[in-house]
Amino acid sequence: MSIFVRFVVAERDDSSDQQRGIFQALYTLEKEGLLEPHELTWFRDIERWFNRYLERPNRLAWSTRPNAPERAILWLRMTANEHLRNLRQLVALLEHKGVPVEELRTEKPGYVVYEDAHQVAAIPFPNETI
């Protein structure tokens, strides 16, 4: 069975009602002007790497109808070593900025609505908060 990993902060996402991921947390720090220029450059370099080497899920909703709520949570496969290495660099940046990050692992991320070689997008099972 596969193991999936996700890095989260304590804040909750409005659309999914789950803990926010580290990219969202970094975008918040950027918006608030809390990233130094060299930190922002570092973040952008890693963001570009992910844009190049990680597919964007074509589906984040349970339904295929237009405007269906996108509630899926993204999880990396434990075998996505280079992706995890880059995420851990972003974790270090957040923790340097005083933002605690938690690493979650699971074998059952929820109802999978998208998957590829490196990740899954899954809607959490009912009554399960991640």
What is the tens place of the pLDDT at every residue in 39-74? 999 999 999 999 999 999 887 766 666 766 667 889
Residue type at 111 in one-letter notation: Y
Radius of gyration of the chain (CA): 15
pLDDT of residue 65: 66
Residue 82 has pLDDT above 90, yes or no: yes
**Domain-wise residue ranges, the chain:** 4-123
pTM, whole model, 2 decimals? Answer: 0.88
> Residue 18: pLDDT above 60?
yes
Cβ pair 114, 60 in contact under 8 A:
yes
Q: Are strands 4-12 and 73-77 parallel, antiparallel or unpaired?
A: antiparallel
Write down the pLDDT at residue 59. 74
pLDDT tens by residue, 88-124: 999 999 999 999 999 999 999 999 989 999 999 998 8
Strand partners, 119: 76
Give the integer Cα–Cα distance in Å for 130 and 99: 18
> Is the pLDDT confidence value at 1 over 80?
no
Report the interhelical angle of 81-96 vs 37-53 (nearest 10°): 160
